[in-house]
Amino acid sequence: MLHREIALSWLPYSLSFVALLFTLAFAPFATFGADSGASPATKVESEVMWYTTMALDDSSVLVAKFKERFPAVNVKLFRANNSKLLERLLTESRAKTAIADVISAGGLPIGVLKDRGLLTKYVSPEAAAFPAGAKDPDGYWTDIYVNTFNLVYNTTMVSAKDVPKTYEALLDPKWKEKMGIDDSDYEWFGNILQFMGEEKGLDYMRKLAAQKPTMRAGHSLIATLVAAGEFALYPDGYPRRVEVLRERGARTVDWVWLEPAIAELHPTAIMASAPHPTAARVFADYMLSAEGQELIGMRFGRVPSRKGIKLKYTRMGIEGRNIHWSNPALMAKHGARYAELFQSIFSKSTQ
């Protein structure tokens, strides 16, 4: 049976979510729904149910803009964090209850849903405008926006010439006990192991842990603490958090690219059991369209995955950068192991 004690706090991927992943490997499961190979019906259904992890301030705006384009389609919205959303979908599937049409969530939950056969193949006509790393090679999902992990630093504690420009530069002894790291950034950890190679990556992480970073929970919190001077460096930071702080007047915090930069995905997909499959396609197409993506880039201040979209924070753009795209299938397969390794390595740094 699925764990009933899944934490309700925000992820990326908390220990409670990792417990869920371990449980999935042993839980009895029946797939409800199948791939729809039929062509979309001419008539679009009058409603669509959207399950998302997108903040309500943003998701409600996207729904309103969609309604301007398609006034006959009513969008119902359920918003939750990654663990709650995944738990709800798996519970509904076991009960053979078809509610959700469109899913927009973190890459790891999308990878689990695909692995369980709960998504239907749908390659949107908009997908041609997206880079290869932003779409499933099997056609089950397309990414709507990314967070990149980059180096956040305090501008008064770190001079311009001393700002680390590479991952290896973080191992300089002068940064010992001067870093903050998010205490559940398993996706950041796992992707570094992927692009460095597991053996080299684990060696790197052990050396980084030997720098005695302080482990804290939450990207917004740690960025704020860097601005306040509690940490000089924050190697797994989200640039958007810093841009918002600087927009509000904080000049003691800034960020630089560390490449390859890890792109943390937020894909959208259609449920195999979707009660409103045609409306689901129309809504997914809108999120992936130039108009929908510009909302994400300009209004929400995020980094849409579609090429050629204007951004509110221009230096966050990924085009022309060396990007390592996180792979939902690999995260679903290895996420629990990455979490164990992360905790075993970095828990020692606090002792």
Fold of the CATH domain 15-145+264-316: D-Maltodextrin-Binding Protein; domain 2 (3.40.190)
Q: What is the pTM of this model?
A: 0.87
Contact by Cβ (8 Å): 328, 266? no
Residues 6 or more apart whose CB falls under 8 angstroms from that of 274 comprise 33, 98, 100, 101, 102, 120, 280
* Rounded distance between C-alpha atoms, residue 73 and residue 279, angstroms: 7
Distance of alpha carbon 193 from alpha carbon 206, whole angstroms = 12
Q: What are phi and psi of 142, to 5 degrees?
A: -135, 140
Q: Is the pLDDT of residue 342 over 80?
A: yes
User: What is the SS3 assignment for 241?
Assistant: helix
Chain-wide mean pLDDT for the chain? 90
CA–CA distance, 60 with 127 (Å, rounded to integer): 23
Residue 22: pLDDT above 90? no
d(CA 233, CA 226): 7
Q: Locate 50 and state its tokens.
A: 């959207």
Q: Are 35 and 268 in contact (CB under 8 A)?
A: no
Question: Using only C-alpha atoms, what is the Rg of the chain?
Answer: 20
CB 217 within 8 Å of CB 223: no
Question: What's 147-262+339-350's CATH class?
Answer: alpha beta
pLDDT at 28 over 50: no
What is the tens place of the pLDDT at every residue in 102-157? 999 999 999 999 999 999 999 999 999 999 999 999 999 999 999 999 999 999 99
- Is 287:56 a contact under the CB 8 Å cutoff? no
Give the model confidence (pLDDT) of 253-310 as tens digits: 999 999 999 999 999 999 999 999 999 999 999 999 999 999 999 999 999 999 999 9
Percent of residues, the chain, with pLDDT higher than 70: 87
| Domain residue extents for the chain | 15-145+264-316, 147-262+339-350
Q: Quick check: do 15-145+264-316 and 147-262+339-350 share a fold? A: yes
pLDDT digits (tens, 9 = 90+) for 83-97: 999 999 999 999 999
Look at residue 243 and give its three-state secondary structure. helix
